[in-house]
Structures are given as structure tokens and as C-alpha cells.
Structure 1
Amino acid sequence: MKYILALLFLLLPFMLQAQTIKLQGKVLAKASGQELPYINIGIRNKNIGTASDEKGNFILVLPKERQQDTLTFSAIGYKELSVPVRQLETQKQPLAITLEERENTLQEVIVQNRKLKIKKLGITGRLPIVWGAPENRDSKDIYEFANFIQVKGKSTELLSAHFYVASEKLDSALFRINLYKSSNGLPDERLVQKSILKRLPAKAGWVSIDLQPFDIYTDEDFFLGIEYLPGSGVDRLAVLLGAKLGGSSYSREASLGTWKKFSGASLSGYVTVRQ
């Protein structure tokens, strides 16, 4: 019996490996061959995913039952690519995934003769509470929180974004600021196809991101999101975000994961605008 148990322990890693699908490779720009960092990779709305690293490399281990699903690669400024998991599994590893650039459309700018005002829209306050990752999933994957910002149909120029960030482990961390259109009360497609990627101080305090270089104008309500991109070997709970009691906020716990609305607390995040 003890020999049988020993054999089972030896075979266990191979048995577990046979029940999973391991995909690894690099994400590149189709035209230039440039490595594409921090690309969202996942099975849409299944909370299964990862993000490529600073050199475009990725590793994703999937349960065998996801063989019939489709894996999506999503990058700001590039067309989304969706490929069946079964097809990727049969290709030679490491994979070379190429994304095609998206054509940029110019935003309409409305010229007004009235004097514009500087305003703060969103949650500007904070109570001594913080949030972390919704769940302790793959440390290489993202998590993201968002607030709903109402501009009430007014022509609005976005000047800056502000969040409360706290960490006892890191001096700084990498974040992506995302702006989403609203659909059925949840964040949907991106409002602008511009990569707002910033390394921000992570010690307790408010951080600001200058949005003026991106020339962002809108007259529709939108979601302001802050996406945490963990570094290699960094615990997802190493960075926490400030919050305020009351109201509601939105989160997702994986690349291309499902957005969820929850009530009772709001993300300490707002935008400064000119209206």
C-alpha cells in the first residue's frame, strides 16, 4: 500500500497538469513588431485572466473545462483579438500574438462663448477605510475599481484625475486610468482610446494624474476607473485604495472580468473638469 501511495504522489503533478491548459507567449504590435506591455488577457465575463508584463510576455493557466471558451486580448489603441482556447492550445508554445492598430477618430470640440468653471466631480472625501483586491486571485492579474461621473450633458474638458492610494509595502505602484462609457448602469467600452499609464506614489495619500495632455472632452456621463497592475512577485493586496461610506461603486477582479456594482461605500476618486 505504501508503494502505491508513493507512486500516486509522484504522479500527482502530472495528473494535475493534464487537467489544465498552460498558454504562454508574447503580445506584439502587428505593424511594427513592438512588444505590447500590460495587455488585458482573459475569458470575457468569466473572471479568468492575466495581464502581460512590461515586455509583453504572459503566462495563463486555465482549467481544462475552459477548452471550449474564447480568449480575448485587449489593448488600448489596438483592435481586440479573440481566439478559441482550443486553437491556442494546439499551437507551438510560446505563442506570438499580434494586435492590429485601431484607427483613431478625432473628438468633436465644441466652442462656447460663456465663461467656463473648474469643478470637481466624483467622491472627494474619505473615511479611514481602504479597499484591496476583491479576491486574492492570480498575483499577475489586475483588479479595478470605478466611480460613476455625471456631467449632465454639459460639454466637459477633463483636466485631472485623483485617487487615494495606501500601501505599507511599496513606495510606488503602476496604475492605468480608464474612462468607460455607461451601458445598462455598468462600465462598458472605452470612452477614449488613449493609454493613461502612470507609476504613482503608493504611500497613504491622494495622488493626481494630469489628463490635459490627452485632450479628453465629453458631454456624456462616464465611469472613472483605476486599474492596479501588480508587478512580478508582488502581492495584489500590497496596494489599497481609499473609500468613503455611503453611495455605490463598481469593481472587477480580473482582466476582462465581470463588472459588479456594490452599495454602502464609494471609491475615493474624482476628476477635475472645466465646464
Structure 2
Amino acid sequence: MKKLSIFPFLIAVSAFNGQVISGTIISKNESQPIPYVKIGVEKKTSGTISDGNGNFSIDLSDIDPLQKVKIEVPGYEVYEETVRDFKTHHLQKIFLNEKTKNIKEIAIKPKKLVDKNWGVNTKTKNVLYSVNPELNKDNFLGETALEFNAKKRSKIRNINLNIARYTSTEPVLMRYSIYSEKDGFPDKNILDEEITVRLTEDMIKDGTYTLDVNDHNIWIKGKFFVGIQFLKEFNGNIKISAALFKTGFIREFYGDWKKMTIAAPAINIDVKMDKNGKDTKDDDGGYADDDAAQSWIADNSKNIQEADQSIFGKNESAGKYLKLKDTDLYYEVYGEGEPLVLLHGNSGSIKDFYQQIPILSKHYKVIAVDTRGQGKSKDISKKDFTYRLFADDVKALADDLKLDKINIVGWSDGGNTGLEFALKYPDHLNKLVTIGANAFPEGVESKLIERFTTQMTQLNQLSPAETLNERRLLKIMLTEPHISKNDLNTIKSQVLVIAGDRDVIKPDHTEFISKQIPNAEMKIYKDTTHMVPFEKPDQLNTDIMNFIGKK
């Protein structure tokens, strides 16, 4: 067992104007400046980071003199002092003691360690965390984090961050932190040393920046958080992919951590898990989300990762664009035979049907569509989205392909679009399969509607230009569709209504849709959430083929 020595730090501080304190943070032992140290006031949402030479200035105007100044750098004890006392310093030495840690060898046989990937894997370009110093100077130094739960002792090998867009003329400085958990929020940084990165565009491979932390020897068990903070302004912006229906955490400098229910950042980790470690739980752990306790939410990160890695949605040999008034509608065609149009859900894309296309295309001419404003289909208008507009796009595509009559399989929002198509273009629809569709917003679980409402409030506080698409996609779920009982009664086509028994669509609402459509039948999948195509692909494929093939 080894005991590491304690290194003191020296902060040389000078004051001017009585309120703005400036100084340089240096190492006493090495006589070198310490860069990127976090300096702020407890519970306050603003502060400063020392520069690359250890220099800093912090404005303490109008701050309660009894509040505490906090100085932090990973691996060292947090330094705290009242604002009143901190203002009196002039070239005074302030020592930060390194945390004493005991290191012992980890003796685990290689065969006991298994590879796992936990977290949010989406690479969507439709739901994003935007980092733009030019637009958000006041809270630019905020931090975002994702919660994990390691049921068995595990070592973090890589931290992966999915970046949808990177535009910067200079390297972007980022800090990674690992926090313990307290009362459901990040608590203390458990790292013994600083982990900072100067990120450049060439370091991002296939939309992911992978940070190798294997040599940092980070072992974890239980609940913990992985946090990311940008340390200095840069020219440009970064957009991090995010997953709807997941919870992220944010804070502004030393402000309180808050849940960000609009979406979770696409942070995931590669770990080596001690499979034989003692534990009372049956599962291995992974991404942690309090909302996962809701019966209608499941962790589909594995499916999302597989969908991202599939060819679908980016197959140049199968993909084409249809140019319409306000959008270039992207679609891919597979197979031959009776036309079958696949419509994905809100903020999704063609790749979401990665388990359906290979099977269905053996029997049908599958036309998989990226709905406007989603996937690779761009929308240049600023008008609200509607399911009738989406249905018009489907009709325009069918006309362009010279298809007089089509079958439609629509998942979630795609099912709503299918219902609108059945109402507006009855003579051009053969059969319709809806998966987790709703006729009006009240058919969705109330807790999810409450969550959407909170998300819209949060989005409205951000830059309108940067959040236009996200707001439109959220608004359509809050305000649409408006399909009445009488409307459903007029649908002439045969319809198969599918939902999971743990769906976000209320069971009685799914039954209502099925009963009001004259030629409808209903199937409820057991032990299944809203994510039917992910969770029950074989059953779904069989039911689709049997239904469409039935005379």
C-alpha cells in the first residue's frame, strides 16, 4: 500500500477597486502556474476559470460578505472562505492540500471482467444540447451531466460524447468530471486528478469523440454522474446529440444542479465490469434515470446504438431526395412488390426501422421516409408542423413514384400521419398499420404531457433560432392531432392498431381508436413499451406481413 505525498498550492492574490479580485494560481512545490482552476461563490451561477497561465479575476460586487468563495481543482481539497475574508487578501498564501489517497493493487483475473457500454448512444441531429459562447456568455461555463448506476464494481475505460456538429476556429477546452450521488443529484467530484481535453474537429470520429481514461484507474460502484464542462470561450458552436424521454442534469457554475427533463446528453461509457462481484441485484446496471421507474419507459440505448450502426438512413445506393416547396424529403427504397411506406416517430429517422426493413423488403417494395425536419429531410420554413402536412408529403412522394395506392406502417407520430392520410386520401390507401398512435393529445399519459409542457417552457427560454425545430417537434405532440370519433368512423381502409401494454398511449385510447374505425383490429403486445419496433421486431414483422397479405 502506498501513500501519496501532499502538495501545497499557493495563490497570490491582489485586489483592486475593493470588489474585483485578481491573482495567479501557482504550485508552491513546482513554482508553476495552475491552469483552469474553478473559482466562484457557493450557490451562485457565475464565476471564473483561471486561464492557461493561472491568472484570474473575479467580480465580487453585490455579493453577501458572509457567503463563501470556493476554489476547486480535482485531486485537492476544496478551499472555502467567506467573501469578506477573501477580499482582505493581498499576496497572501492560500494552500490547497492534495487529497490523501491509499492505492492498492487491483487483483482481478481477466476472465472475470466483461465489456459493457452504458449511457445514451443516440447520434440524432434533431434533438441537441447547444454550446454557443457568443449567444450564451452569461451561463457559458455551465456544466451538464448524466447519471449512471453500476450494480457491480466496474472500471471506466472510455467516455464517449456524440457530437452532431462542431464549428470552431480553435481547439475547444473541456473538463470531464465524475461525481458521487446524493439525494438524486451530483455531489462531490471523485477524481484524483484533472481530466481536460483540447477538442479539435479531427478528434471526432463518425460523430463521436472518445476519451480514453483507462490509465486514470477510475473504479466505480453504485450511482454516479459523468459531467462535462466547457472551460473557455471559443469562436463557433458545438451541438451535442441528446435523447428525448431521458433525464440530464445541468448547473450554472456553483449553482444548484437541476434536472433537465427535455432530454439527456449523448454521453456513454465503456466499462470493464467485475461480473463475479458481490451484488444482490440481478441486472448489471448502466444508465440511471428516475423516470425509468415509470412502466412506460425502457432503456433502449442498445437498439439506438444498433440503429446508428446500421446502413439504413444513410444508404447512398438506396436513398433519394424529393424536392418540395419547403423541404427536400429524403427516402430510401428497398425490394420489389406491393408498395409499403414506413413512417418513423417524433425526432426519429429511417434507421429506427433497422429490424423491419431487411425482412419486409423481401416481400414488398419498402419506401422508408425521413419526415420533414427530421433525419436527413430538412425544412426551411418556419411554420408549425402538422400531421396533415406530413400526410401531404407522403402523398407527394407516392405521386412522384407513380404509386396510385400504398400501404402505410406508422410508428407513434408516423401512425398519426397514417391516420391523417387515411382521412384525406382514402382512395390512395390500401391498408394501414399504426403502432402507438393517438387521435388527440389527451390520449397520451398525463405524466408525459406534463413533461412535454416543462420541456417547452425550458426551450422557450433558449435562443429561438437555434431551437426552432425542437420547439416545432415538441409542439406537435402537445397540440395535435385533432381526429374526432366521427373522423375515425369515416375511415374506409383496413387498419391494424398495435400498442404495447406499457405504452405511453393510454390503453383505453388505443381501444377507442380501434373500436371507432369500422374495419380495424387491435393487437396489444405484452411486456412492451412504446418502442414496439425495437422490443418486439419479430412479432411485429410477422403481424405486418400477415395483415397486409390477408385478403
Answer whether TM exceeds 0.5 for this pair.
yes
Amino acid in structure 2 at the alignment position of 1:213: D
Question: TM (normalized to structure 2)?
Answer: 0.42
Amino acid in structure 2 at the alignment position of 1:124: N
Structure 1 residue aligned with 2:168: 169
Which segment is superposed worse, 79-88 or 107-116? 107-116
Q: Does residue 187 of the first structure (1) align with residue 189 of the second (2)?
A: no
| Separation (CA, whole Å) in 1 of partners of 2:190 and 2:157 | 15
User: What number of residue pairs does the alignment pair up?
Assistant: 251
Q: Does residue 121 of the first structure (1) align with residue 118 of the second (2)?
A: yes
1:140-219 matched pairs, under 5 angstroms: 142-152=141-151, 154-165=152-163, 166-202=165-201, 205-219=207-221
Structure 2 residue aligned with 1:36: 34
| Separation (CA, whole Å) in 1 of partners of 2:218 and 2:124 | 30
The Cα of 1:90 is off from its aligned counterpart by 2.8
Structure 1 unaligned blocks of 5 or more: 1-16
Residues 56 and 41 of structure 1: CA distance in aligned 2, closer, same or farther (over 3 Å): same
| Separation (CA, whole Å) in 1 of partners of 2:150 and 2:76 | 28
The Cα of 1:260 is off from its aligned counterpart by 0.8
Do the aligned residues in 1 keep the contact of 2:175 with 2:229 (CA within 8 Å)? yes
Residues 71 and 133 of structure 1: CA distance in aligned 2, closer, same or farther (over 3 Å): farther
Structure 1 residue aligned with 2:108: 111
1:7-46 matched pairs, under 5 angstroms: 21-46=19-44
Do the aligned residues in 1 keep the contact of 2:46 with 2:138 (CA within 8 Å)? no
Q: Secondary structure at the match of 1:150?
A: strand
The Cα of 1:107 is off from its aligned counterpart by 6.2
| Separation (CA, whole Å) in 2 of partners of 1:257 and 1:108 | 38
Structure 2 unaligned blocks of 5 or more: 1-15, 274-551
Residues 101 and 242 of structure 1: CA distance in aligned 2, closer, same or farther (over 3 Å): same
Q: Secondary structure at the match of 1:87?
A: helix
Residues 67 and 270 of structure 1: CA distance in aligned 2, closer, same or farther (over 3 Å): same
Residues 155 and 88 of structure 1: CA distance in aligned 2, closer, same or farther (over 3 Å): closer
Structure 2 residue aligned with 1:6: none
The Cα of 1:246 is off from its aligned counterpart by 1.5
Q: Secondary structure at the match of 2:85?
A: helix
Do the aligned residues in 2 keep the contact of 1:25 with 1:57 (CA within 8 Å)? yes
Do the aligned residues in 1 keep the contact of 2:121 with 2:266 (CA within 8 Å)? yes
Structure 2 residue aligned with 1:13: none
| Separation (CA, whole Å) in 1 of partners of 2:266 and 2:211 | 14
Residues 65 and 179 of structure 1: CA distance in aligned 2, closer, same or farther (over 3 Å): closer
| Separation (CA, whole Å) in 2 of partners of 1:183 and 1:95 | 35
The Cα of 1:244 is off from its aligned counterpart by 1.6
Among 58, 64, 73, the residue aligned to 1:66: 64
Do the aligned residues in 2 keep the contact of 1:30 with 1:100 (CA within 8 Å)? no
Amino acid in structure 2 at the alignment position of 1:55: N
Among 67, 87, 90, the residue aligned to 2:88: 90
Residues 65 and 200 of structure 1: CA distance in aligned 2, closer, same or farther (over 3 Å): closer
Structure 1 residue aligned with 2:227: 225
Please list the CA deviations of residues 220-270 of structure 1 after superposition, one character each: whole Å capped at 9, or x if unmatched.
221011111114xx36x733322121210001121x332111213111010
| Separation (CA, whole Å) in 2 of partners of 1:262 and 1:191 | 23
Task: Compare the two structures and name the one with the higher strand fraction.
Answer: 1
Please list the CA deviations of residues 27-54 of structure 1 after superposition, one character each: whole Å capped at 9, or x if unmatched.
1234433311111111122213111111
Q: Secondary structure at the match of 2:210?
A: strand
The Cα of 1:112 is off from its aligned counterpart by 5.2
Q: Which has the higher contact order (CA 8 A, sep 6+)?
A: 1
Residues 138 and 35 of structure 1: CA distance in aligned 2, closer, same or farther (over 3 Å): farther
Question: TM (normalized to structure 1)?
Answer: 0.81
| Separation (CA, whole Å) in 1 of partners of 2:99 and 2:30 | 14
The Cα of 1:95 is off from its aligned counterpart by 6.8
Q: Secondary structure at the match of 2:192?
A: coil
| Separation (CA, whole Å) in 2 of partners of 1:137 and 1:95 | 31
Q: Does residue 258 of the first structure (1) align with residue 253 of the second (2)?
A: no
| Separation (CA, whole Å) in 2 of partners of 1:39 and 1:217 | 24
| Separation (CA, whole Å) in 2 of partners of 1:163 and 1:51 | 23
Largest Rg, 1 or 2: 2
